[in-house]
Amino acid sequence: MVRITYVEADGRTQEVDAQPGWSLMEAAFHNGIEGIEAECGGACVCATCHIYMDERYLEKIKPMESGEDEMLDCAAAERKPNSRLSCQIEITDELEGAVVQIPETQI
């Protein structure tokens, strides 16, 4: 298991033991973390799983594909340089200790 910390928009934090191979969205979704809606369940078609990725770990995840890039442009909250769709980030051992920030709104 990989320890991931989610920080909700109001500052509440929650630590989750995440399954390698799953996505950062799934780990949040299964644990009922609020603020990640994930309406499409990871099909990269809703942009309601937007997160700000821990900058220390940006190098350790696969770069985004064009579909994610286009969806992020239309996400409800502000897009920042570390914006990603959490359903497109696969959890690996390298993400141990990562802190994921959840934006104010997804819809």
In the complex, which residues of this chain contact another protein (CB under 8 A)?
A: 22, 26, 29-32, 34, 39-41, 43-45, 47, 67, 70-71, 73-74
Task: Round to whole Å and give the CA distance between 2 and 79.
Answer: 27
Contact between 40 and ligand FES by CB under 6 A: the answer reads: yes
Q: Which does 25 bind (CB under 5 to 8 A by kind): ligand FES, another protein, none?
A: ligand FES
Neighbours of 62 (CB within 10 A): 9
CB of 54 to another protein, least distance (A): 23
Q: Which is nearer to ligand FES, 11 or 107 (CB)?
A: 107
> What does the buried/exposed string (b/e) look like for 71-80 if buried means 16 or more CB atoms within 10 Å of the residue's CB?
bbeebebeee
Taking the alpha carbons of 81, 83, 84, 85 in that order, is the dihedral positive or negative? negative
Q: Which is nearer to ligand FES, 2 or 86 (CB)?
A: 86
Contact between 85 and ligand FES by CB under 6 A: the answer reads: yes
